[in-house]
A and B are shown apart, each in its own frame.
Chain A
């Protein structure tokens, strides 16, 4: 059986700055893999290399056995199999919620208008914002916008969903709605690669957790191991900071 996603020796540099220093990663069909790590460690870049929003400097990306890094691949066609959800939602501001979810179906998949609208409404219902279909993104809360963004990606029938800190830009009370939708997707068997700081979500929903630091995978394994019993000092340090954010001040003051 082929892997849903396979990265082999992935490198990415921006000029002199080497952001990814050789990443190997596999995600199996139906798995949820969570990526954690400090800010600037290259998590977003990794995700963006998977659907080639960034061109990797070296290494290979396979999705269901097809190589995306092959220079002759039709990248627009390949990307359709990968849904992506961004930290800043990135809904199309000039289009209504319904049009946001139908536009790519119609222009890319050439679905008839009626069919695209039906699929859109089904997905909007699934994420709980069907009643907002006629409104514009600016009229929605962040949590609602992010759920529309998820519906938009789902409507393209992706084989894999990529999430880049989908709840980091949300007010705390709206985080739960979005995580709930993602949890539901995972239960339905969607293959997901999720960059997140929500440790509870990673622990409960993730099949595997991967800790990244400075462009390398430091530690990976089942959540019970990586989050609850980390082997590496850097992972422990990071988790300590994330799980006890208020202790930081005490520690900073303590050493004297």
Chain B
């Protein structure tokens, strides 16, 4: 074999000075070298003492405990999970309305999705925190502020979740509905028994992704205006950072967000891989 190739290459076609393989190797070498130079420059230029003092200050970090967990982390989880549960069911309803035969339903769903997907979440939260109490006198949701936050986050996430559910419902093969109908199931019965369970299975990865996004969006509920007991991770870290003129609590809050979101991201990749295998 080796003799074959050498004969061929030594033949009539003049040999290139560098083969594509060698050129690629050299190009990659240059890229790595550049990368190392940039990192080295940044490391040398940085003031490591100040960085450690302001961002990774062990004494300041100690002061944040245990409240950063018992108040901040706890509230972040409560807000996000309650908002997600609400958004899940509302999103499912909106998705079904969006796919309904009834025109008014479709229009309402479309408006809902466009408005809540188009508005920055913080605008919705500000309106909720200040607008609603003014508009509806003495109106108070149960378990405040948890009720208000769950509703605000639920309304925002429902718009995204509705689009995800719609994609899932449309991905269920038509034959599934036909089989259900041929067995005497009504339209509604087929949707509940056959379509929705399969649609949800199909969209589990993007649904988990949206839970990650909601963990981050929950940091915006500070706009609703709270007392200390209801601070979530971001607000807790931010206020402590301001008090102490040191950014360490905020860095710590960021680290705890990652503790929540990175495992979820890992889960999404696992689920996607499993789905790929299952589809074969």
Interface residue? A73 (CB, 8 A)? no
Q: Are A82 and B185 in contact (CB under 8 A)?
A: no
Chain A stretch 94-138: residues in CB contact (< 8 A) with chain B: 94, 103-104, 107-109, 138
Q: How many A-B residue pairs have CB under 8 A?
A: 60
A82 CA / B193 CA spacing, docked (Å): 20
Q: A184-209: contact bitstring with B at CB < 8 Å (1 yes, 0 no)?
A: 00000000000000000000000000
Would you call A156 an interface residue if the criterion is a C-beta within 8 Å of the partner chain's C-beta atoms?
Answer: yes
Complex alpha-carbon distance, A109 and B193, angstroms? 14
Residues of A within 8 A of B178 (CB): 53, 86, 90
* Total interface residues in chain B, CB < 8 Å: 19
CB distance B182 to A82 under 8 Å? yes
B201 touches A84 (CB 8 A): no
Q: When the two chains form their complex, are residues B175 and A94 in contact, meaning their CB atoms are under 8 A apart?
A: no
Q: Are B175 and A104 in contact (CB under 8 A)?
A: no
Partner of B189, one of A77, A88, A90, A107: A107
Which chain A residues border B173 with CB–CB below 8 Å? 90
Nearest-CB residue, chain A, relative to B183: A104
For residue B179, CB closer than 8 A to chain A, the reply is yes
Q: Across the two chains, which residue of chain A brings its CB closest to B178?
A: A53
Task: Flag B176-217 by CB within 8 Å of A: 1 or 0 each.
Answer: 101111111110010001100110010000000000000000
Q: Which of A94, A108, A138 is most buried by chain B, counting CB atoms within 10 A of its CB? A: A94
User: Closest CB-CB distance, B262 to chain A, in whole Å?
Assistant: 30
Interfacial residues, chain B to chain A (CB-CB below 8 A): 173, 175-176, 178-186, 189, 193-194, 197-198, 201, 278
A to B CB contacts below 8 Å, 12 in the list: A53-B178, A76-B186, A79-B182, A79-B183, A80-B184, A86-B179, A94-B197, A103-B193, A104-B180, A107-B189, A108-B189, A153-B183
A residues sitting closer than 8 Å to B (CB atoms) are 51, 53, 76-77, 79-80, 82-84, 86, 88, 90-94, 103-104, 107-109, 138, 149, 152-153, 156
